[in-house]
Amino acid sequence: MSQQINHPTISEAEIIRPTRVEVDLKRLAENFSKVKQHVGSVKVMPVLKANAYGHGLVRIAQFFQELNVDYLGVAVVEEGILLREKGITVPILVLGGIWGNQVPLFLKHNLTITASSIEKLKQIDEVAEQMKVKAKVHLKIDTGMERIGVHYYNAENFLDAAYECKNVEVEGIFSHFASSDSADLTYTRLQLERFTEVLNYFEKHSIEPPLRHISNSGAILQLPEANLDMVRPGIILFGVYPSNEVKKTIGVKPTLTWKSLVVYFKVIKPGHPVGYASTWQTDKNTRAVTVPVGYGDGYFRSMSHKAEVLIRGKRYPVIGTISMDQIVVDINNDSAYNGDEVILLGSDGKNEITCDELAEWAGTIPYEILTNINTRVPRVYKSS
C-alpha cells in the first residue's frame, strides 16, 4: 500500500499526531467511474469546494487530473490559484461571486469566471481588454436560489450584454438547484423549466449554445433530464449522499476514514465528573480512555453525550463535554490499551460510524461534518 501525505510542513515519516484522516483514492476512482457511467456521454465537473469536502484540495485535484476530468469546480478564486500553483492544468470554474478587483487574478491564472450580472460582465470585459487576453466566463442564472446570478426572467438582456463583450468568451451557462436532494422534486422541476426557458435564447438567436449545466449531486441521482451538457457532482464523489431523502441510484462508498489512537487509560470512580462543566459522572467504577481529538479538529462539541466511536470493532459512547483537543470514551468493562486505533468516522470490521450519524449527533448535515475537519488533521492518501 503506497501512501502520500497532504500536509504543509511535515512528511509521512514525521507525522506523530495520532489523529488523522485517511482517504481511499481507489474508492474515489470507483465512485467517479460510477457517476460517469450513470450520466453517459455528459461531461463531469468534480466540485472540490471547502478543501475538497475535507479530503484535501490539492491531492484530490491532482488525482482527478490524473483521471482526465473535463473540468474542476471550486468556490473561491484562492482555491483556483492554489491549484494552478500546484500544477493543475485542467479547466477550473470558480463558482462563487467575485469582486471586480479580483478579475486580473482570474485572467493571470487562466481561471474561468462566474459572470453574475451585466455590471460584472463589463468589468471582466474591460480588464481582459487591458490585459490583452480573452476571459472565459460561465453565465450564472438564478432560477430559484436567490444567491447570485441574474434572475431567469431578466436573462435576455444579460445574454445580449454577454455576446456584445469583445473580450469575453461565453464558454458556459449554469444555474443551481435548491432542493434536488428532496423526495419532492416539484421545485427542482420548476427550476429546470425556468432554466430551459432561458436556454431558448440560443435557438432564438441562432447561436451555438455554450456548455449548459445545472445538475448537482441530488439531481444526478434523481433527475437525469437535468444532466444537459455537464454535471457537477460534489459530495457523492466522496461516497456520501446529500440527504436521507434522496434516491440512491448510484452505489457510492465513503472515501474518508477519520481515526485516532487511545493515548490514556484510567478508571473513573463514582462521584468524579468528566470534562468541562462536570456534565457527566458515574455511580460505579468506570473504565475509560482518552482520545486526542476535539472540536478544534472539527469533532463538534454539540455531539457531547451523543457521539460514539469504534475501538476494536465495538461501539463505545463518548462521555462528558467534548473538549477542544480531547474526548473521553467509556469502554464499559472492556480493555483498551495505549495505541489502540479509534475510529471516529468510518468502519472497523462489521461496524461503521457514518457521516450521517455524526451529522445527526451534531444537529447538522453531512456536508458540514466533512468540511469542518480542520486542516491541522493530517490527510493520508491510500492508493490500494
Which residues participate in catalysis according to the annotation? 49, 276
Coil, strand, or helix at residue 103?
helix
124, 168 Cβ separation under 8 angstroms = yes
Nearest to 256 by CA among 367, 337, 331, 338: 367
Q: How many other CB atoms are there within 10 angstroms of residue 165's CB atom? A: 21
**Amino acid letter for position 73:** G
Number of residues assigned to the chain: 384
> How many degrees, rounded to 5, is the angle at CA 94 between CA 107 and CA 82?
70
Coil, strand, or helix at residue 191?
helix
C-alpha cell at 204: 432564438
C-alpha cell at 134: 480573452
Nearest to 382 by CA among 12, 9, 8: 12
C-alpha cell at 149: 446570478
- CA torsion angle 3 341 301 27 (round to 10): 40
**Amino acid letter for position 134:** K
